[in-house]
Chains A and B, each alone.
Chain A
Amino acid sequence: DTGVSQDPRHKITKRGQNVTFRCDPISEHNRLYWYRQTLGQGPEFLTYFQNEAQLEKSRLLSDRFSAERPKGSFSTLEIQRTEQGDSAMYLCASRYRKETQYFGPGTRLLVL
Protein backbone atom coordinates (compact mmCIF):
# COMPACT_ATOMS: atom_id res chain seq x y z
CA ASP A 1 0.00 0.00 0.00
CA THR A 2 1.71 3.18 -1.17
CA GLY A 3 0.51 6.26 0.63
CA VAL A 4 1.50 9.87 0.05
CA SER A 5 5.27 10.30 0.04
CA GLN A 6 7.31 13.47 0.49
CA ASP A 7 10.96 14.22 -0.11
CA PRO A 8 13.09 15.28 1.64
CA ARG A 9 11.86 14.58 5.15
CA HIS A 10 14.14 17.23 6.62
CA LYS A 11 15.83 20.28 5.14
CA ILE A 12 18.17 22.76 6.80
CA THR A 13 19.05 25.82 4.76
CA LYS A 14 20.52 29.25 5.21
CA ARG A 15 18.40 32.37 4.92
CA GLY A 16 18.21 33.58 1.34
CA GLN A 17 18.63 30.15 -0.26
CA ASN A 18 16.00 28.48 -2.45
CA VAL A 19 14.49 25.12 -1.50
CA THR A 20 12.23 22.69 -3.36
CA PHE A 21 10.08 19.95 -1.91
CA ARG A 22 8.44 17.07 -3.73
CA CYS A 23 5.16 15.26 -3.08
CA ASP A 24 3.99 12.02 -4.69
CA PRO A 25 0.27 11.48 -4.05
CA ILE A 26 -1.62 8.20 -3.91
CA SER A 27 -1.69 7.08 -7.53
CA GLU A 28 -5.40 7.38 -8.38
CA HIS A 29 -5.89 10.65 -6.46
CA ASN A 30 -6.46 13.60 -8.77
CA ARG A 31 -6.58 16.27 -6.07
CA LEU A 32 -3.41 17.37 -4.28
CA TYR A 33 -3.04 19.85 -1.43
CA TRP A 34 -0.17 21.62 0.32
CA TYR A 35 -0.41 22.73 3.97
CA ARG A 36 2.03 24.33 6.40
CA GLN A 37 2.16 23.57 10.10
CA THR A 38 4.01 25.62 12.71
CA LEU A 39 4.60 24.68 16.32
CA GLY A 40 1.46 24.48 18.42
CA GLN A 41 -0.88 25.10 15.50
CA GLY A 42 -2.94 22.97 13.18
CA PRO A 43 -2.00 22.68 9.51
CA GLU A 44 -2.89 25.72 7.37
CA PHE A 45 -3.97 25.44 3.75
CA LEU A 46 -1.53 26.78 1.15
CA THR A 47 -2.69 25.62 -2.27
CA TYR A 48 -4.66 22.97 -4.14
CA PHE A 49 -4.45 21.19 -7.51
CA GLN A 50 -7.01 19.24 -9.44
CA ASN A 51 -4.98 17.23 -11.93
CA GLU A 52 -2.42 19.72 -13.24
CA ALA A 53 -4.51 22.84 -12.64
CA GLN A 54 -3.76 24.97 -9.58
CA LEU A 55 -7.26 26.00 -8.50
CA GLU A 56 -6.74 27.92 -5.28
CA LYS A 57 -3.92 29.67 -3.44
CA SER A 58 -4.00 30.97 0.12
CA ARG A 59 -2.93 34.50 0.96
CA LEU A 60 -0.27 32.74 3.07
CA LEU A 61 1.42 31.82 -0.21
CA SER A 62 3.55 34.88 -0.87
CA ASP A 63 5.19 35.52 -4.25
CA ARG A 64 8.30 33.72 -2.96
CA PHE A 65 6.32 30.47 -3.01
CA SER A 66 5.45 28.57 -6.17
CA ALA A 67 3.86 25.18 -6.62
CA GLU A 68 3.53 23.03 -9.72
CA ARG A 69 1.99 19.74 -10.71
CA PRO A 70 3.16 19.48 -14.32
CA LYS A 71 1.63 16.17 -15.39
CA GLY A 72 -1.08 15.84 -12.81
CA SER A 73 0.97 13.35 -10.81
CA PHE A 74 3.73 14.53 -8.44
CA SER A 75 3.92 18.13 -7.22
CA THR A 76 6.74 20.45 -6.20
CA LEU A 77 6.69 23.37 -3.78
CA GLU A 78 9.52 25.88 -4.16
CA ILE A 79 10.39 28.63 -1.71
CA GLN A 80 12.72 31.31 -3.03
CA ARG A 81 14.89 33.54 -0.83
CA THR A 82 13.95 31.67 2.32
CA GLU A 83 13.34 33.58 5.55
CA GLN A 84 13.48 32.34 9.13
CA GLY A 85 9.68 32.65 9.30
CA ASP A 86 9.43 29.95 6.64
CA SER A 87 10.63 27.36 9.15
CA ALA A 88 7.74 24.91 9.50
CA MET A 89 6.49 21.45 8.59
CA TYR A 90 5.24 21.36 5.00
CA LEU A 91 2.55 18.75 4.48
CA CYS A 92 1.13 17.33 1.30
CA ALA A 93 -2.24 15.57 1.07
CA SER A 94 -4.24 13.92 -1.69
CA ARG A 95 -7.80 12.76 -2.22
CA TYR A 96 -9.95 11.17 -4.90
CA ARG A 97 -13.73 11.47 -4.61
CA LYS A 98 -14.63 11.36 -0.94
CA GLU A 99 -13.89 14.28 1.34
CA THR A 100 -11.04 12.54 3.17
CA GLN A 101 -7.58 13.91 2.52
CA TYR A 102 -4.65 11.59 3.17
CA PHE A 103 -1.43 13.17 4.35
CA GLY A 104 2.20 12.41 3.72
CA PRO A 105 4.87 12.40 6.44
CA GLY A 106 5.80 16.04 5.81
CA THR A 107 9.02 17.93 5.14
CA ARG A 108 10.44 19.76 8.12
CA LEU A 109 12.21 22.94 7.04
CA LEU A 110 14.62 24.84 9.25
CA VAL A 111 15.93 28.18 7.98
CA LEU A 112 19.02 29.41 9.82
Chain B
Amino acid sequence: DQQVKQNSPSLSVQEGRISILNCDYTNSMFDYFLWYKKYPAEGPTFLISISSIKDKNEDGRFTVFLNKSAKHLSLHIVPSQPGDSAVYFCAATRAQKLVFGQGTRLTINP
Protein backbone atom coordinates (compact mmCIF):
# COMPACT_ATOMS: atom_id res chain seq x y z
CA ASP B 1 0.00 0.00 0.00
CA GLN B 2 1.78 3.08 -1.29
CA GLN B 3 0.69 5.86 1.06
CA VAL B 4 2.84 8.51 -0.60
CA LYS B 5 3.02 8.66 -4.38
CA GLN B 6 5.07 10.63 -6.84
CA ASN B 7 3.50 9.81 -10.17
CA SER B 8 6.11 11.47 -12.38
CA PRO B 9 9.34 9.47 -12.49
CA SER B 10 11.12 12.28 -14.32
CA LEU B 11 10.85 15.96 -15.18
CA SER B 12 12.93 18.10 -17.50
CA VAL B 13 12.98 21.91 -17.12
CA GLN B 14 14.83 24.74 -18.80
CA GLU B 15 17.32 26.63 -16.63
CA GLY B 16 15.72 29.76 -15.18
CA ARG B 17 12.17 28.42 -15.46
CA ILE B 18 9.99 27.07 -12.67
CA SER B 19 10.18 23.40 -11.66
CA ILE B 20 7.04 21.93 -10.11
CA LEU B 21 7.25 18.54 -8.43
CA ASN B 22 4.07 16.85 -7.27
CA CYS B 23 3.19 14.37 -4.56
CA ASP B 24 -0.06 12.71 -3.46
CA TYR B 25 -0.82 10.93 -0.22
CA THR B 26 -3.61 8.77 1.09
CA ASN B 27 -3.28 8.87 4.88
CA SER B 28 -5.05 11.89 6.36
CA MET B 29 -3.28 11.27 9.69
CA PHE B 30 0.09 12.48 8.39
CA ASP B 31 1.05 15.59 10.35
CA TYR B 32 4.21 16.80 8.64
CA PHE B 33 5.49 16.73 5.08
CA LEU B 34 9.08 17.08 3.89
CA TRP B 35 11.00 17.29 0.64
CA TYR B 36 14.45 15.78 0.24
CA LYS B 37 16.95 16.00 -2.60
CA LYS B 38 19.25 13.12 -3.41
CA TYR B 39 22.37 12.89 -5.53
CA PRO B 40 23.71 9.48 -6.63
CA ALA B 41 25.68 7.61 -3.95
CA GLU B 42 24.70 10.14 -1.25
CA GLY B 43 22.05 10.23 1.44
CA PRO B 44 18.92 12.39 1.08
CA THR B 45 19.43 16.08 1.90
CA PHE B 46 16.60 17.94 3.62
CA LEU B 47 15.17 20.83 1.59
CA ILE B 48 11.95 22.15 3.09
CA SER B 49 9.01 21.01 5.18
CA ILE B 50 5.45 21.97 5.99
CA SER B 51 3.15 21.23 8.89
CA SER B 52 -0.28 19.83 8.10
CA ILE B 53 -1.88 22.92 9.66
CA LYS B 54 -0.33 25.21 7.04
CA ASP B 55 -0.85 25.49 3.31
CA LYS B 56 2.39 27.16 2.21
CA ASN B 57 6.00 27.41 3.31
CA GLU B 58 8.72 29.30 1.51
CA ASP B 59 12.50 29.19 1.82
CA GLY B 60 14.49 31.08 -0.79
CA ARG B 61 13.92 29.54 -4.20
CA PHE B 62 11.86 26.69 -2.72
CA THR B 63 8.15 26.82 -1.89
CA VAL B 64 6.01 23.93 -0.74
CA PHE B 65 2.23 24.01 -1.10
CA LEU B 66 -0.14 21.70 0.74
CA ASN B 67 -3.74 21.04 -0.32
CA LYS B 68 -5.20 18.89 2.42
CA SER B 69 -8.60 18.45 0.82
CA ALA B 70 -6.93 16.99 -2.29
CA LYS B 71 -4.23 15.22 -0.25
CA HIS B 72 -1.67 16.80 -2.54
CA LEU B 73 1.55 18.70 -2.07
CA SER B 74 3.91 20.30 -4.51
CA LEU B 75 7.41 21.74 -4.48
CA HIS B 76 8.12 24.81 -6.61
CA ILE B 77 11.70 25.74 -7.47
CA VAL B 78 12.18 29.11 -9.08
CA PRO B 79 14.38 29.94 -10.83
CA SER B 80 15.68 26.45 -11.60
CA GLN B 81 19.47 26.08 -11.67
CA PRO B 82 21.71 23.31 -13.09
CA GLY B 83 22.69 22.28 -9.57
CA ASP B 84 19.05 21.43 -8.88
CA SER B 85 19.36 18.34 -11.10
CA ALA B 86 18.82 15.43 -8.71
CA VAL B 87 16.16 12.99 -7.50
CA TYR B 88 13.54 14.61 -5.29
CA PHE B 89 11.60 12.66 -2.68
CA CYS B 90 8.55 13.79 -0.82
CA ALA B 91 7.98 12.23 2.57
CA ALA B 92 5.26 12.31 5.18
CA THR B 93 5.50 11.60 8.86
CA ARG B 94 3.27 10.32 11.61
CA ALA B 95 4.38 8.54 14.75
CA GLN B 96 8.08 9.16 14.14
CA LYS B 97 8.79 7.33 10.90
CA LEU B 98 9.02 8.89 7.46
CA VAL B 99 7.05 7.40 4.56
CA PHE B 100 8.63 8.26 1.21
CA GLY B 101 7.38 8.51 -2.33
CA GLN B 102 9.25 6.80 -5.16
CA GLY B 103 11.06 9.96 -6.22
CA THR B 104 11.12 12.23 -9.28
CA ARG B 105 14.31 12.75 -11.26
CA LEU B 106 14.61 16.45 -12.11
CA THR B 107 16.91 17.48 -14.96
CA ILE B 108 17.65 21.16 -15.52
CA ASN B 109 18.69 21.86 -19.10
CA PRO B 110 20.95 24.83 -19.94
Judge whether B44 is part of the interface by a CB distance below 8 angstroms: yes
Bound-state Cα–Cα, A56 to B43, Å: 22
Given A42-B91, A45-B97, also A103-B102 (CB < 8 A): no
Residue interface mask B17-39, A partner, CB < 8 A = 1: 00000000000000110101000
For chain B, which range describes its interface: under 10, 10 to 19, 20 to 34, or 35 or more residues? 20 to 34
Residue interface mask A84-112, B partner, CB < 8 A = 1: 00000001010000011111111010000
Residue of B nearest to A33 (CB): B97
For chain A, which range describes its interface: under 10, 10 to 19, 20 to 34, or 35 or more residues? 20 to 34
Contact between B97 and A48 (Cβ–Cβ < 8 Å)? yes
Residues of A near any B CB (own CB < 8 A): 4, 6, 31, 33, 35, 40-45, 48, 55-56, 58, 91, 93, 99-106, 108
Task: List the 8 closest A-B pairs by CB distance, nearest first.
Answer: A42-B100, A103-B43, A45-B97, A99-B32, A103-B44, A105-B43, A106-B43, A42-B89
